[in-house]
Amino acid sequence: PEPLLRVTDLRLSLGRGAGAVDLVRGVSLDVPAGTTVAVVGESGSGKSLTALAMMGLLPPGVTVGGGDIVLDGAPVARLTERQWQPLRGRELSMIFQDPLSALNPCIRVGDQIAEMFRRRAGASRREARDRAVESMVEVGIPDAANRARSYPHEFSGGMRQRVMIAMALSLQPRLLIADEPTTALDVTVQAQIMRLLAERKQARGLTMILISHDLGVVSRSADQVVVMYAGRVVESGPSRDVLSRPAHPYTVGLMRSVPDRRRPGATLEAIGGQPPDPRTVPAGCAFHPRCPMARDRCRTEVPALRPVAPARASACHFADEVVGDAPDRPSADT
Ligand code: SF4
Ligand code: MG
């Protein structure tokens, strides 16, 4: 069957003409209905920008330079803002790392949720208020009828993220995009929010895209993992397989960077160096300056994303060697 969302060879560019810089350089991925697909990479990998393109929310100056995004059979990458508005919230919704910046600090939380029902679903004032409280109950906010009268700053970070989830789900979208939904939260609360998302996904038959820099966060909840580096997909496949036997040195590095949640403060074996500036992406494999396995061929020849096992792909010239030399799975996050 057709996936609910399909991204094909997407190119996102900053600026136009000769000075344009490609920030996303030919990304393809499928999101089958009812599944969770994780998009993983360090900041600057292009993962958030790809997600924003899926919502029609690209920042000013960033344009779709090629490829397409197809949502439920309809191409959406080049829709106008007016064409996007009815889709957002109803077809797909997004939650972000920092709920405080997405909420209006001067409006009571219940009223902000109720506004979604009034403005977008045509509910009466009273009905909207009731539905707001119901939706707060649904996302596990205790004493919801009273808490609806509180302001955003009176909520903890975890409770604010629950409010954002309630708002994102209020118009019953089919697809929820969560961009670093737990990155600003402490470890215990992270696990609670991930559990809530998994529950809601199950109960509503949602499809989810989970964007994260932390493979530990996605390891339990994702069906598929897509690893991005320097604006490209470098590895993809079923998460169980990718995490037990990664086929790209960058994925191996990300796994070694996962904090050990049973031993807080334990040292991390992070990947040395930084992701490249999009203006000066290294020739050959963009990861070669940081790759412990790099050799001459890597400095000149761009590795294509190619199949390495059923349903799996890697963009490393030496993927077969990597699979033979995998670290242990990252520890579970609870
Ligand atoms: Fe490392 Fe070369 Fe593979 Fe790139 S192609 S990930 S530099 S071994
Ligand atoms: Mg980001």
One domain, residues 161 and 203: no
One domain, residues 227 and 121: no
pLDDT in single tens digits along all 334 residues of the chain: 789 999 999 999 999 888 899 999 999 999 999 999 999 999 899 999 999 999 999 999 999 999 999 999 999 999 999 999 999 999 999 999 887 788 999 999 999 999 999 999 999 999 999 999 999 999 999 999 999 999 999 999 999 999 999 999 999 999 999 999 998 898 889 999 999 999 999 999 999 999 999 888 888 889 999 999 999 999 999 999 999 999 999 999 999 887 666 555 544 566 888 899 999 999 999 999 999 999 999 999 999 999 999 999 999 999 999 987 655 545 444 3
One domain, residues 156 and 83: no
Report the alpha-carbon distance of residue 267 to residue 276 in Å, rounded: 25
Ligand with minimal distance to 43 CA: 2
| Domain closes at, from 172, 196, 231 | 172
| Domain closes at, from 140, 172, 204 | 172
Question: Does some domain include residue 293?
Answer: yes
Question: Does some domain include residue 221?
Answer: yes
CA of 160 to the centre of ligand 2 (A): 19
Question: Does some domain include residue 28?
Answer: yes
| Domain closes at, from 137, 172, 207 | 172
Helices (H), the chain: 47-54, 81-84, 99-102, 109-121, 125-138, 144-147, 157-169, 187-204, 215-219, 239-244, 249-256, 296-300, 319-323
One domain, residues 135 and 269: no
Which residue range(s) make up the domain with 274? 5-91+173-323
One domain, residues 154 and 31: no
Q: Whose CA is nearest to atom 5 of ligand 1?
A: 316
CA of 151 to the centre of ligand 1 (A): 50
Is 218 strand, coil or helix? helix
ipTM of the complex: 0.96
One domain, residues 178 and 241: yes
One domain, residues 230 and 266: yes
Report the alpha-carbon distance of residue 152 to residue 84 in Å, rounded: 27
Q: Which residues pair with 11 in a beta bridge?
A: 25, 66
Report the alpha-carbon distance of residue 305 to residue 317 in Å, rounded: 9
Question: 228, 293, 305: which to mutate for ligand 1, most atoms within 8 A of CB?
Answer: 293
One domain, residues 299 and 315: yes
Question: Does some domain include residue 48?
Answer: yes
Report the alpha-carbon distance of residue 110 to residue 224 in Å, rounded: 35
CA of 18 to the centre of ligand 1 (A): 29
One domain, residues 261 and 200: yes
Question: Does some domain include residue 268?
Answer: yes
Report the CATH number that the domain containing residue 261 is assigned in CATH: 3.40.50.300
Q: Give the count of domains, the chain.
A: 2
One domain, residues 186 and 159: no
One domain, residues 163 and 44: no
Which helix H or strand E contains 5, and what residues bound it? strand 5-14
Question: 229, 318, 320: which to mutate for ligand 1, most atoms within 8 A of CB?
Answer: 318
Ligand 1 site residues (CB inside 6 A) read 248-249, 285, 287-288, 291, 293-294, 298, 303, 316-318
Report the alpha-carbon distance of residue 203 to residue 296 in Å, rounded: 51
One domain, residues 77 and 141: no
Report the alpha-carbon distance of residue 79 to residue 31 in Å, rounded: 20
